[in-house]
Amino acid sequence: MKTRFAPDRGLSRRMLVTSFLLGLLYVGFVALLIALTESAVLAVLIAGGALFVQYWFSDRIALYAMRGRIVTPEEAPQLHGAIDRLCALADMPKPRVAIADVDLPNAFATGRNPKNAVVCVTTGIMRRLDADELEGVLSHELSHVAHRDVAVMTIASFLGVLAGLITRFGLYGGLSRNRDQNAAVVVLTVILVSVAVYAISFLLTRALSRYRELAADRAGAMLTGRPSALASALTKISGDIARIPSRDLRQAEAFNAFFFAPAISGKGASLSSLFSTHPPLETRLDRLGVLSRELGEQA
């Protein structure tokens, strides 16, 4: 699907490379599991079913978990109006529009493709942002839909889910019940391989997640022509999130990779940034500042 969102070849390359590497990792992982133990086949089938559900029903799962509901133009005329304008500007199909009744100021996009996408905003973000800032956030989320990176992230996270399931199965099931030394060695090998696969897939998907946020910032700001509005929204949301109770943030942390701004994040560039779903706020603001100057020079 071609849209007027600025193409990002760097994002396309990273999605392709990440998917390829995870695919190789997955094939080798499954081959080893099947060679070591027949019980792994059942785990793979279960995980495959989980992937199917996650991929085909990711929009419904996310909305249910965030207490979001689809809203009509009559229920949210300003929100629909902003998305209508942006979709017309981007020349892309309009996604379904949803609102989550939570105070956490955030937004996310989900869905397996642009025709089955949902853009959801929280009541918290709608109360805090002005029209230009909210439009910047919506443009950011729509660029995720246009670039199809939401679907890629859903698929990319599958291997980590599979490895986690295998690890739990081995720790709480096979290892405790297998007193035979050979069987215990097999189960322990499976667990160690699963842990290694989980760690690699975790780092690959987090690296892709950080880059896709920068790509969405740039594409969204270029579409609206107002990087400063998006930077203002980022600053305001990040500051307000810091005042949200930690308990509420932890409940939403599982959706960090899909949020506009992370519910819980590290500060600055450190080892913890390798495990974060988003680049540091300072990096995002710096990039938007550079883009603002570039657009100013062209004007």
Res 113: pLDDT? 83
* Per-residue pLDDT tens over the stretch 217-252: 999 999 999 999 999 999 999 888 767 666 655 656
What confidence tier does 299 reach under pLDDT thresholds 50, 70, 90?
A: very low
Q: Find out whether 140 is annotated in a ligand binding site.
A: yes
Q: Find out whether 213 is annotated in a ligand binding site.
A: yes
Lowest-confidence segment of 66-75, 88-97, 204-213 by average pLDDT: 204-213
**Is the whole-model pTM more than 0.85?**
no
CA distance between the termini of the chain = 29
* Per-residue pLDDT tens over the stretch 129-173: 999 999 999 999 999 999 888 877 777 766 666 666 666 655 555
Do 63 and 120 contact (CB within 8 A), yes or no?
A: yes
Taking residues 61-69, what's their average pLDDT? 83
DSSP alpha helices (H): ranges in the chain? 9-36, 39-56, 58-65, 77-90, 123-128, 131-147, 149-169, 175-177, 181-224, 227-241, 246-252, 281-298
What confidence tier does 86 reach under pLDDT thresholds 50, 70, 90?
A: very high
Report CA-CA distances (Å) from 88 to 3, 4, 81, 83, 213: 10, 10, 11, 8, 23
Q: Find out whether 38 is annotated in a ligand binding site.
A: no
Among left, alpha and beta (phi > 0; psi -120 to 50; other), residue 106 is beta
Q: What is the DSSP letter of 243?
A: T
**Hey, which residues are catalytic here?**
141
- Rounded to an integer, what distance in angstroms lies between the CA atom of residue 73 and that of residue 56? 26
How many beta carbons lie within 10 A of that of residue 48, not counting itself?
13
Q: What is the DSSP letter of 170?
A: I
